[in-house]
Amino acid sequence: MNSGMHSAGHLTAVGWVSLALYLAAACCSWRAATACRPPDSTAPSRIWYWLAAMLAVLGFNKIIDLQTLLMHAGHQMAQAVDLQQYRLAFHALFFLGLMLGFAALLAMLLLRRPVAALTFGRRLPLAACGCLLIFAYSALRAASIDHIDQMLRFNLDRIPFLWLVEAGGLVLIMADALRSLRRTA
């Protein structure tokens, strides 16, 4: 998938906007966490801290582009041990593993902390929807990077402005963080 984020290893205008949105959403989440009373003892406070940390990491990943570095390393290892003919199978297995990992984390959260998960959805509905949009974008991006879309005879490159799914999720998180700040003020 040509995400429009990088060109020749450098961020494009869309990439810089995405980075700015991630960092703004992380800052808003951090601010919402610190504004919760009493600090660190409420579920929303912990959620906002976790969101701030995850959004900051995802934002900085826009700069370092870790998935591309991992792909190059995997490509070089496959060439070194002569496994290039199995490339598509490895891509499919990696994508399947990634999606199963996400599903396992979600299942673990829902089984171990069902009240916290429901509380998150009820108290912070915009942030919950924003997280789902970011996850959806990440899954589509992973499907494209691993060529799963082409295996299914579908080309995600033909969907214009797919990055707006990610940006929309970030805007929803910021809106809920700002709404939380207004409630605590």
- pLDDT 10s digits, 66-78: 877 877 787 788 7
| pLDDT at residue 1, as a whole number | 44
Determine the structural domain holding residue 112 and report its residue range. Answer: 6-184
- Structural Rg of the chain based on CA atoms: 18
H or E segment at 130?
A: helix 125-145
Among 53, 163, 145, which Cα is nearest to 99's? 145
Measured between alpha carbons, how far is 150 from 132 in angstroms, rounded to an integer?
24
* Residue 100 placed within a domain: yes
Residue pLDDT, tens place only, 91-115: 778 888 888 988 998 898 889 888 8
Mean pLDDT, residues 127-156 taken together: 80
CA dihedral for 139, 133, 110, 35, sign (positive or negative): positive
Residue 25 has pLDDT above 90, yes or no: yes
* Residue 176 placed within a domain: yes
* Residue 39 placed within a domain: yes
Contact assessment for residue 124 and residue 176, using Cβ atoms and an 8 Å cutoff: yes
Measured between alpha carbons, how far is 41 from 167 in angstroms, rounded to an integer?
30
* Residue 54 placed within a domain: yes
Higher pLDDT, 158 or 132: 132
Count the Cβ atoms, other than its own, within 10 Å of residue 92.
Answer: 14
Q: pTM of the prediction?
A: 0.81
* Residue 1 placed within a domain: no
Neighbour-count burial of 112, counting CB atoms closer than 10 A to its CB (0-12 exposed, 13-18 middle, 19+ buried): exposed
| pLDDT at residue 2, as a whole number | 46
Residue 39 has pLDDT above 60, yes or no: no
Query: How many domains does one find in the chain?
Result: 1
* Residue 50 placed within a domain: yes
Range from 48-62, 99-113, 121-135, 164-178 carrying the lowest mean pLDDT: 99-113
Mean pLDDT, residues 132-141 taken together: 88
H or E segment at 11?
A: strand 10-11
Higher pLDDT, 182 or 184: 182
Residue 9 has pLDDT above 80, yes or no: no
